[in-house]
Amino acid sequence: MECPHLSSSVCIAPDSAKFPLGSPSSWCCSVCRSNKSPWVCLTCSSVHCGRYVNGHAKKHYEDAQIPLTNHKKSEKQEKVQHTVCMDCSSYSTYCYRCDDFVVNDTKLGLVQKVREHLQNLENSAFTADRHRKRKLLENSSLNSKLLKVNGSTTAICATGLRNLGNTCFMNAILQSLSNIEQFCCYFKELPAVELRNGKTAGRRTYHTRSQGDNNVSLVEEFRKTLCALWQGSQTAFSPESLFYVVWKIMPNFRGYQQQDAHEFMRYLLDHLHLELQGGFNGVSHSAILQENSTLTSSNKCCINGASTVVTAIFGGILQNEVNCLICGTESRKFDPFLDLSLDIPSQFRNKRSKNQETGPVCSLRDCLRSFTDLEELDETELYMCHKCKKKQKSTKKFWIQKLPKVLCLHLKRFHWTAYLRNKVDTYVEFPLRGLDMKCYLLEPENSGPENCLYDLAAVVVHHGSGVGSGHYTAYATHEGRWFHFNDSTVTLTDEDTVVKAKAYILFYVERQARAGSEKL
């Protein structure tokens, strides 16, 4: 929201010497000395803990209001309100009088200047700490072995994404996409777009609503976010600018409620596709596609117009066959897809863990077979037969006519009942390597053996019981090692841990495509 209290509450100098030493994300509360969730007052630069720790930041605001309620406010008192503070981890701004997060700035841009200064302090502290760790690691010949074995060791080269308020759904998807090499490299190689001119040109952009809608570019903010990951220059990156653009162009994701990661992924890919169709920074998307020899015309799948990198990487084609059970008329329809949503077969829905003894374990192949098996449509889905000229009972079957370069499989874990949306918490076994999709193809004889084999690149996991609650994390492989991405925390893990995860979204990369990308 736009806060009317900034001019009277933001009083500190952006580079104030009153700030504590060290990285802002580890500053301690001046009352209880807790370093969890530190918030800095933008009036007096004092640091206190957030409301979910001991709430001293809010108490600091409440104590400052007592003199104003006991006697007539003077002009000087009006200016000193201590109502606005900044999260030292995510750099988001909050007003206690408005009781909401703030997206605007003062006329002089003081909030943005403080934000940039805090980030510089964070990066400086991290660089010094990273240099110290590197010195220690260089002296240890067992370094690489320790990194691979110790699953709790923080990964130095990887960058986490700060949670901006229930944005774990977005963070998990962004980390997964950043580890799909061909897709990620395309965006990182795009030319940069400077969205601001004049005195602020060249500075990092934190969008505010005062900038106007004309400056919003999802492709640009997505590109910046991908570039910030895997550089190893900071422990965590705040995707605040990208989240602001998401708010602007995807109204369903406004606010700080928990959202569905799969729904967000589909909206994200669809909007990236639409924006790329219109060209980017004066460079036609088709021209950039042609420069990449691996994205040939045979790999493109057009959805809603011309092909882009989104459809070239994730696009496949389904053939939908419907047969009338009365007259035998067959209807065929071809549908492009970016991902496949798979039901977990009903006979497995009580199987909650891999080690549970009763009954067989549900596998990804079971879900794929359920998706492609011949199915008789029920009474609510009667098929309009053009030969019988009325709705008739029929059967339906899916075939995959064209496989994508990256096969995205969504396991349908959330189901609506009469009043609630319940979660299917069944464990589904999935392979890390060699997922063979040949038996699901319409014409398998026309595909080479390698073209049908897929290796796992990333997994999104939902922890909790409901779609509107819980938490999302992601596993992804990078340069032969598996990482666990939990918002701002990134840790090395192993394959045994990954295969035990209750997957929600699986990203499989075509084996031939991966081999080709490693040669480049």
Q: Residue 356: pLDDT above 80? A: no
409-448: per-residue pLDDT in tens? 999 998 776 666 688 889 999 999 999 998 888 776 666 5
Tell me the domain boundaries of the chain.
Answer: 6-66+80-126, 163-190+217-276+302-349+360-514
Residues with Cβ within 8 Å of 39's Cβ and at least 6 positions away in sequence, in order, are 47, 48, 49, 50, 57, 85, 86, 87, 88, 94
Q: What are phi and psi of 319, to 5 degrees?
A: -110, 125
163-192: per-residue pLDDT in tens? 988 899 999 999 999 999 999 999 988 877
Active-site residues, by number, are 168, 471
Nearest-angstrom CA–CA distance, 369 and 340:
12
Three-state SS at 223: helix
pLDDT of residue 93: 87
For residue 406, the tally of other CB atoms under 10 A from its CB is 26
262-314: per-residue pLDDT in tens? 999 999 999 999 999 876 444 444 444 444 444 444 444 555 567 899 999 99
Q: What is the mean pLDDT of residues 204-216?
A: 44
Residues 162/488, Cβ–Cβ less than 8 Å:
yes
Quote the strand ranges of 295-436, DSSP E: 316-324, 330-337, 340-343, 362-363, 375-376, 383-385, 390-392, 394-402, 406-412, 414-416, 421-423, 428-429, 435-436
CA 57 vs. chain centroid, Å, equals 30
Question: Looking at domain 6-66+80-126, which CATH architecture does it have?
Answer: 2-Layer Sandwich (3.30)
Q: Residue 202: pLDDT above 50? A: no
Percent of the chain with pLDDT over 90: 28
Percent of the chain with pLDDT over 70: 73
Pairing status of strand 362-363 against strand 428-429: parallel
pLDDT band at 501 (very low <50, low <70, confident <90, very high): very high
Q: Residue 232: pLDDT above 50? A: yes
* 163-190+217-276+302-349+360-514: CATH, from 3.40.50.1370, 3.90.70.10, 3.40.718.10, 1.10.3720.10: 3.90.70.10
390-403: per-residue pLDDT in tens? 888 888 888 888 99
Angle between helices 240-249 and 218-228 (to 10 degrees): 160
DSSP 30-85: TTT---SSEEEETTT--EEE-TTTT-HHHHHHHHHHHHHHHSPPPHHHHH----EE
48-97: per-residue pLDDT in tens? 998 777 889 989 988 887 765 444 444 444 445 788 998 888 788 888 88
pTM: 0.65
Low-confidence winner among 309-313, 357-361, 374-378 (lowest mean pLDDT): 357-361
- Give the chain's radius of gyration (CA, Å): 26
Nearest-angstrom CA–CA distance, 251 and 98:
22
Q: Residue 517: pLDDT above 70? A: no
Q: What is the mean pLDDT of residues 118-122?
A: 81
For residues 201 and 414, the model is more confident at 414
Nearest-angstrom CA–CA distance, 176 and 180:
7
Query: H or E segment at 367?
Result: helix 364-372
pLDDT of residue 121: 82
pLDDT band at 365 (very low <50, low <70, confident <90, very high): very high
Most confident of 2-6, 258-262, 333-337, 457-461: 457-461
pLDDT band at 12 (very low <50, low <70, confident <90, very high): confident
User: Average pLDDT, whole number, for the chain?
Assistant: 78
CA 355 vs. chain centroid, Å, equals 30
- Supply 314's token pair: 């994730």
List, in sequence order, the alpha helices (H) in 74-209.
Answer: 75-79, 110-138, 143-149, 168-178, 181-188
